[in-house]
Chains A and B, each alone.
Chain A
């Protein structure tokens, strides 16, 4: 029995953490957060050079052939630092091509995606929360007309993996005819989003693997979001505890007051056990296929809900400073808003988990 990250996985987390802290320290994060575009191609390229753009891709395309658990471990670290990088959607897009692409398609796209030269994203949701493959209605021919909502870093991506009718996937080039990209002002400024409209836009379909590919991509996405949420939530607990140890009122640090101590203990109790929840969901995607989809749905709905609540608690625990734009809690608060919604709200995945249990 070994239910723990390996030394290599911890080293991977440590490497990513060091890199982000060096290349995107708080002042730089703040700059990007306030920036109109909010994307730093040099930062992403640097991460790609560490191998992060292709962790899970086959070696022949320049990937590292690691597991979903490795991806999730990285996602936790990025979440804890609120890293403003397109790791999530780029990973999902390359996963979709690796699973659903023909030999020729993989050879054409994956090396550039693994090296970071090509940035890709996923365009899944349709109007009204249609995140699930069986809810997609976008045309099934080789021309698309319609729209996709909430595309992460869609303003910067070169390629979009698009969810199609019948739970299938296709690839659209950002320069293809009829693509219209509209920026959406989202609260989370560490992951920018757009809406993409298509008008008779050519699409290249991913034909391998059938509809299984889209559900696998969704499941992996749920676990990566869950891991990001765990990272962010743990960081908020840590920040709140630090604040309580330093802020003085009535002549003592406020961490002396039992009311606050109990609030902080409750926050920790909501968050800390969910580390094992995302680990297990990632492990199931790698090794326990029967439990994979349901574990992913539970992890996503549970941990993003905890992240959101702990972000509210952390704001309160920081007093007035927590409510300001200058304070640091608001950045993770807004990241929690993104994590809660992206790929489907807790409600959607709780309903799925109930269905998948056969209840």
Chain B
């Protein structure tokens, strides 16, 4: 067992550090430019150096590096430590780009990949519908080919970032006669098209991060389809895999634990600092047990990946582990907050990781931990996956019948 990255990777780390020292923050005249412009310039240089967009071919604007999880990890660590920008966050980089690279037509890659990874255009995801959540393949939004255009009618929901997005990648039923999974196509839509009506949904936290999107006779060109007609379900699987990985990272759980320990140090409970309360101390250690197990299981999965071996059932557990930790953290935070536990949540919204120590942001985390349990495949769906694919138990009979 050896947790070091090895001499070769450590010397790579030195190169990354040197690059960062010289390039971020920007120097001289460039330091006076707008934040966006500085970020753009820096990303350009980091891509040229091979540090960002490593899985994207050069001809589409990436740095086309061989897959190397350890180098990627070192880059993440060093860029984070230096507070340097990485690839634009968001669903376009995380989900659409890998899908296009694997499944897209040449012209689609040329048109969309570069601007997306440079942060010039943003995307939203049109998957869920009011009647199609966990049973996504039952979706009803229809697309008909009329002349040279798809004409789309229906409604999408839980669409994060739809207000700002330039485009949507969308699952649409184009083959109504085909069996449910085989009737879906993966279409791209310009959000400026006539007939799109975006209405924000207000979350229980009071803030609005996602929307309903109504589509009425929306036109998109016939070749704005990824994969063939009826292959959309297959195409979308590429992307969901990416989303699961990103939500499952243990870094967020570690951040939450640190925030919780800070909270316990700052707040008083029963006339003394909460961190001195025996019940709180034990509860913190109990949560840390879950967080460390999650973190070290990440090391195990990384190792198996490097060796080209299957990590087994643990890979199916990342999201549920994060979700369970989020619940436990939320519960203990409320305990520590005492009588402040009835306050209103922060309306600024909240990232998935460190919650900060204000009462309002912890109340928001108390609620947001439920959002995490639901988004990207609910906890019960995760349990189905673990039971069926991991433990080899029979498939859900209702799901089988509906096929």
Residues of A whose CB lies within 8 Å of any CB of B are 1-6, 69, 241, 244-245, 252-253, 255-256, 258, 261-262, 264-266, 268-269, 272-277, 279-280, 283, 286-287, 295, 298-299, 301-302, 305, 347, 350-351, 353-354, 359
Contact = CB atoms under 8 A, between A and B. Distances in A.
B264 to A, nearest CB: 8
Given A1-B303, A273-B297, A276-B293, 13 more contacts: A1-B299, A264-B393, A266-B383, A268-B317, A268-B391, A269-B317, A273-B290, A298-B289, A347-B282, A350-B282, A350-B286, A353-B285, A359-B264
B168 to A, nearest CB: 33
Contacts of A241: 391-393
25 contacts: A1-B302, A1-B303, A2-B1, A2-B303, A3-B1, A3-B302, A241-B391, A253-B394, A261-B396, A264-B391, A265-B320, A266-B383, A268-B317, A268-B391, A272-B314, A275-B297, A275-B314, A276-B296, A277-B293, A283-B3, A351-B278, A354-B281, A354-B284, A359-B264, A359-B275
A277 B289 CA distance: 8
Contacts of B292: 277, 280, 295, 298
Contacts of B3: 1-3, 283
B299 A3 contact: yes
Nearest to A283: B1
Contacts of A266: 383
Main secondary structure of the interface of A (DSSP, over half): helix
Contact of A265 (B6, B265, B300, B386): B386
A273 B293 contact: yes
B11 to A, nearest CB: 15
A310 to B, nearest CB: 14
A286 to B, nearest CB: 8
Given A4-B303, A359-B275, A276 B391 contact: no
B297 A276 contact: yes
B160 interface: no
Given A256-B394, A280-B296, A301-B289, A4 B281 contact: no
Nearest to A303: B289
B393 A1 contact: no
A2 B383 contact: no
Contacts of B302: 1, 3
B392 A269 contact: no
Contacts of A305: 286
A273 to B, nearest CB: 4
A244 B393 contact: yes
B387 A261 contact: yes
Which 4 interchain pairs have the tightest Cβ spacing? A302-B289, A276-B296, A354-B281, A261-B387
Interface of B: 1-6, 70, 261, 264-265, 275, 278, 281-282, 284-286, 288-290, 292-294, 296-297, 299-300, 302-304, 306-307, 313-314, 317, 320-321, 324, 380, 382-384, 386-388, 390-394, 396-397
B59 to A, nearest CB: 32
B372 to A, nearest CB: 16
A253 B288 CA distance: 38
Nearest to A241: B391
A1 B2 contact: yes
B1 A275 contact: no
B230 to A, nearest CB: 30
Contact of A273 (B285, B294, B307, B388): B294
A302 to B, nearest CB: 3
A4 B282 contact: no
A265 B394 contact: no
A143 B379 CA distance: 60
Contact of B293 (A2, A252, A256, A302): A302
Contacts of A280: 292, 296, 299
Nearest to B304: A4
A223 to B, nearest CB: 13
A1 B70 contact: yes
A3 B320 contact: no
A350 B286 CA distance: 7
Contact of A69 (B1, B391, B397): B1
Given A244-B393, A261-B387, A351-B278, A3 B4 contact: no
A303 to B, nearest CB: 8
A299 B290 CA distance: 10
Nearest to B324: A269
A2 B309 CA distance: 12
Contacts of B294: 273
Contacts of B314: 272-273, 275-276
Contacts of A6: 1
Contacts of A261: 383-384, 387-388, 391, 393, 396
Tell me which of B6, B265, B278, B393 has the highest count of chain A C-beta atoms within 10 A of its own C-beta: B393
B317 A272 contact: yes
A234 to B, nearest CB: 11
Contacts of A272: 297, 313-314, 317
A4 B278 contact: no
B293 A301 contact: no
B296 A279 contact: yes
Contacts of A283: 1, 3
A274 B321 CA distance: 12
B394 to A, nearest CB: 5
B288 A298 contact: yes
A191 B241 CA distance: 46
A6 B1 CA distance: 7
A244 B393 CA distance: 8
A305 B287 CA distance: 13
Nearest to B321: A273
Given A1-B3, A4-B304, A277 B296 contact: yes
A275 B300 contact: yes
Contacts of B397: 256
Tell me which of A244, A255, A276, A301 has the highest count of chain B C-beta atoms within 10 A of its own C-beta: A276
A3 B293 contact: no
B23 to A, nearest CB: 27
A276 B314 CA distance: 10
A1 B5 contact: yes
A244 B293 CA distance: 27
Contacts of A273: 290, 293-294, 296-297, 314, 317, 321
